[in-house]
């Protein structure tokens, strides 16, 4: 039996609001707009090759999350803010660097949580996993970082959860 | 949460500009009602009267590929020429057409049809004879009835041997209006 996907127009009309909602949740209102276009352009590139017609919603939301994660990574890689004085999170660039050697999922979770202050729900969405899995990835990433940093004083300390930090300051 | 018109339009334009579409279509107003106009990368492939966009999109997807999207820009040239035509400022369309989904006989007839000049009429029998199939007047009628690109491929200029309008997929009123617009109705009996 031939698998017939609907015309792209119908697919797009049906899922565009959900895609935008998801992107706004992960990226915020402004950055969601670029990601929106990129998501549907990617969907369009893959559309004729689709071998299933079920759960197109899940398919396009997966693309949206990948686009969101790519955007967040690009932002990490971009040069530091030229006006650091107005940067509310000066430690974030350094955090990205420090987290570089972490396993990918942990790194993304750590950077999104402590660098961008995203909720675990949003991080889970960006990673394509659950809120709990995101929480776990972030906390094991932080454990690994602490272990690696030992007692070294670093600006990132400010971004890490408070309890061990106090200990470090007292040393 | 709804997508703003600007964001929506930006995506549609980007998709068309990136050459990712099998078919782009848009709706446009005309003195004979809203028209749906569709184009592929080869040319104009569809004009329909009283369009139901969902059904048209299904048909276009089946005929030319599933990447069918409404987008204004790819259709601009056709829209502009149609506007000029309806304003009486254009007597010939200069638009490539995509007839790849028409059968060879239909394509042959439609190509001959395209050469029937503005302001003139021909007959089903004359078209059949011109195609070397003098017995095929009825088949020519069927081709006219299924013409995918009316107005631009002027099936409204094809009338009965006695001058009667005979029929039109878009309705006889429209055929009459188009012929009047072209000043071609004097020669026909009503």
By annotation, the residues of B acting in catalysis are 155
Q: How confident is residue A95, by pLDDT bands cut at 50, 70 and 90?
A: low
CB contact under 8 A, A12 and B69: yes
Q: What is the ipTM of this complex?
A: 0.91
Question: For residue B14, which residues of chain A lie inside 8 Å, CB to CB?
Answer: 37, 41
**pLDDT-wise least confident of A3-7, A146-150, A167-171, B127-131:** A167-171
Nearest to A108 by CA among A69, A71, A146, A148: A69
Residue B100: per-residue pLDDT: 96
Question: For residue B3, which residues of chain A lie inside 8 Å, CB to CB?
Answer: 16-17, 20, 36
Tokens representing B130 are 């011109």
pLDDT in tens, chain B (190 residues): 689 999 999 999 999 999 999 999 999 999 999 999 999 999 999 999 999 999 999 999 999 999 999 999 999 999 999 999 999 999 999 999 999 999 999 999 999 999 999 999 999 999 999 999 999 999 999 999 999 999 999 999 999 988 888 999 899 999 999 999 999 886 555 5
HSE of A109 in the Cβ direction (CA atoms, 13 Å)?
27
CB distance B171 to B130 below 8 Å: no
CB distance B149 to B38 below 8 Å: no
Q: Which of A79-83, A148-152, B169-173 has the highest mean pLDDT?
A: B169-173
Confirm or reject contact between A36 and chain B (CB < 8 A): yes
User: Which class for B115: exposed (0-12), middle (13-18), buried (19 or more C-beta within 10 A)?
Assistant: exposed
CB contact under 8 A, B15 and A7: no
Question: For residue A9, which residues of chain B lie inside 8 Å, CB to CB?
Answer: 53, 57, 68-70
Residue A171: per-residue pLDDT: 37
A24 vs B1, B20, B53: nearest CB: B1
Q: How confident is residue A105, by pLDDT bands cut at 50, 70 and 90?
A: confident
- pTM greater than 0.90: no
């Amino acid at each position: 039996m031939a698998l017939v996907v609907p015309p792209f127009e119908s697919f797009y009309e049906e899922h565009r609001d959900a895609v935008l909602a998801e992107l706004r949740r992960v990226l915020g209102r402004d950055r969601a707009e670029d990601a929106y276009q990129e998501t549907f352009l990617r969907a369009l590139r893959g559309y004729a090759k689709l071998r299933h017609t079920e759960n197109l919603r899940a398919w396009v939301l997966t693309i949206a999350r990948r686009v969101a994660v790519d955007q967040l990574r690009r932002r990490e890689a971009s040069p530091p803010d030229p006006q650091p004085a107005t940067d509310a999170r000066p430690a974030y660039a350094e955090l990205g660097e420090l987290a570089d050697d972490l396993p990918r999922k942990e790194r993304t979770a750590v950077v999104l949580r402590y660098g961008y202050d995203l909720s675990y729900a949003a991080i889970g969405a960006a990673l394509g996993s659950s809120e709990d899995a995101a929480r776990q990835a972030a906390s094991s990433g932080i454990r690994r970082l602490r272990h690696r940093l030992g007692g070294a004083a670093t600006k990132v300390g400010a971004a890490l959860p408070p309890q061990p930090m106090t200990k470090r300051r007292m040393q | 949460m709804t997508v703003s018109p600007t964001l929506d339009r930006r995506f549609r334009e980007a998709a068309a500009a990136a050459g990712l579409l099998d078919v782009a279509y848009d709706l446009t107003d005309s003195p004979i009602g809203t028209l749906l106009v569709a184009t592929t990368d080869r040319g104009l492939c569809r004009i329909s009267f009283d369009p139901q966009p969902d059904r048209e999109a299904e048909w276009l997807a089946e005929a030319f590929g599933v990447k069918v999207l409404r987008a204004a820009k790819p259709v601009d040239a056709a829209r502009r020429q149609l506007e000029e035509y309806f304003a009486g400022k254009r007597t010939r369309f200069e638009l490539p057409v995509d007839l790849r989904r028409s059968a060879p006989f239909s394509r042959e007839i439609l190509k001959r049809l395209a050469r029937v000049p503005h302001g003139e009429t021909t007959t089903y029998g004359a078209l059949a004879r011109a195609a070397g199939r003098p017995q095929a007047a009825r088949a020519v009628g069927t081709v006219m009835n299924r013409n995918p690109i009316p107005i631009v491929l002027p099936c409204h200029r094809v009338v009965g041997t006695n001058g009667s309008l005979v029929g039109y997929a878009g309705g006889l009123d429209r055929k009459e209006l188009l012929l009047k617009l072209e000043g071609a109705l004097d020669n026909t009996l009503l």
